[in-house]
Amino acid sequence: MNPILSVRDLTIRFGGVVALDAFSMDIPEGSIFGLIGPNGAGKTTCFNCISGLYRPTRGSVRFGGTELTRLPRHGVARLGLSRTFQNVALYPSLPVRENVMVGAHARLPVSMLGAALRSPAVRAAEEEIAHSADAALAALRLSAYADRGVAELPVGIQHRVEIARALVTRPKLLLLDEPAAGLTAGEVDELREVLLRLHEEMKLTMVVVEHNMRFVMKTCSDLAVLSFGRKLAQGSPEDIANDAAVIDAYLGGVL
Ligand SMILES: Nc1ncnc2c1ncn2[C@@H]1O[C@H](COP(=O)(O)OP(=O)(O)OP(=O)(O)O)[C@@H](O)[C@H]1O
């Protein structure tokens, strides 16, 4: 299968810490790819390099033939790559629908003056955004929460609002950073069901960083394992669960 994203020799240092050390991986188009590893292994740093938040010291990230490491962050998003963050990063005082619409406003193809004067083009674009936001909320089974304030909702719902916000730009590739963190077992099952349906219906490729191994093993088609910034293993969930080096890195505990 063709890779939609290719990471090659990605290296980044923070002072004396080598957070990623010549890390490479290929994400097959249409996969749900899990990036796992112990705390501090470099998983979020990898997402930050892919999404343009960090500039790597060395290496390349190619997405659909474009080199991402030289693009500004908004340029990466415009190519069709979207992400969520490890800690829920929503506007707590805004309702759910407005939080989701924020995801699309950054892509409004209108001038500052047009926006200030609320030109017909701006109004048409805003209607389009509201429509996309409602579609994303429906896809995440959040329509009933659209007018509720984010701060009053359980963390499981807040995670799904973040995913809806990332989806509103209609990405080809979605990076999810610990989407199951802080969720109850029931919420994790519901999240899994929602993601599998999105994957099926929207043909969306996803890369998931996650510590919840039950979720990872049941949801991902392929896995790569990072440890101290280096790739320890890559393969199917079954291969990874039986890999001696991986079991060792996790002290034999969680797999
Ligand atoms: N901005 C930064 N400045 C300095 N060090 C950093 C920075 N970002 C990451 N690091 C360091 O890089 C290493 C990898 O961190 P990273 O957050 O990528 O790990 P992780 O695998 O996502 O961990 P976790 O599972 O705990 O979230 C750690 O040693 C971390 O302290």
In this predicted structure, the answer to whether residue 253 has a pLDDT above a threshold of 60 is: no
Per-residue pLDDT at 255 exceeds 70: no
Q: Is 55 in the pocket of ligand 1 (CB under 6 A)?
A: no
Best of 39, 43, 55 for a ligand 1 pocket test (most atoms within 8 Å of beta carbon): 43
Q: Can you tell me the distance from the alpha carbon of 20 to that of 12, in angstroms, rounded to the nearest whole number?
A: 5
CA 13 to ligand 1 center in whole angstroms: 10
ipTM value, please give it. Answer: 0.96
Domain ranges, ordered by start, for the chain: 1-80+172-255, 94-170
Burial state string for 55-65 with b = 16 or more CB within 10 A and e = fewer than 16: ebeebebbbbe
Position 156 scores a pLDDT of: 87
What is the Å distance from ligand 1's center to 145 Cα? Answer: 34
Please indicate whether residue 91, judged by its CB atom, sits closer than 6 Å to ligand 1: no
Q: Which of 100, 166, 172, 111 is nearest to 134 (CA)?
A: 100
Residue range 6-50, pLDDT digits in tens: 999 999 999 999 999 999 999 999 999 999 999 999 999 999 999
Q: What percent of the chain has pLDDT over 70?
A: 93
Report the first-to-last Cα separation within the chain, whole angstroms: 27
Residue 228: the pLDDT is: 94
Helices 120-139 and 96-105: crossing angle, nearest 10°?
Answer: 120
Q: How far is ligand 1, taken at its centre, from the CA of residue 189, in Å?
A: 28
pLDDT tens-place string over residues 51-79: 999 999 999 999 988 999 988 877 888 89
Look over the chain and give the mean of its residue pLDDT values, rounded to a whole number: 90
The closest alpha carbon to 221, from 8, 24, 50, 35, belongs to 35
* Ligand 1 mutation pick, 23, 44, 85, max ligand atoms within 8 A of CB: 44
- pLDDT over 80 at 128, yes or no: yes
Residue nearest to atom 5 of ligand 1 (CA): 14
Buried b (16+ CB within 10 A) or exposed e, 173-187: bbbbbbbbbebeeeb
Residue 3 CB neighbours (<10 A): 16
C-alpha pair distances (Å), 93 with each of 53, 67, 98, 153: 26, 37, 10, 12
- What CATH class is the domain 1-80+172-255? alpha beta
Residue 82 amino acid letter: S
Q: Token digits for 56?
A: 């790597």
- Extract the runs of DSSP E, i.e. beta strands, from 70-130: 81-83
Q: Quickly state the pLDDT bin for 124 (edges 50, 70, 90).
A: confident
**For 156-193, how does the pLDDT look when each residue is reduced to its tens digit (9 = 90+)?**
899 999 999 999 988 999 999 999 998 999 999 999 99
Higher pLDDT, 249 or 154: 154
Confidence at residue 123, expressed as pLDDT on a 0 to 100 scale: 81
Please, which residues have CB within 8 angstroms of residue 89's CB and are 6 or more apart in sequence? 162
198 is written with which tokens?
């999105």
Chain segment 209-223, per-residue pLDDT in tens: 999 999 999 999 999
Q: Is the pLDDT of residue 254 over 60?
A: no
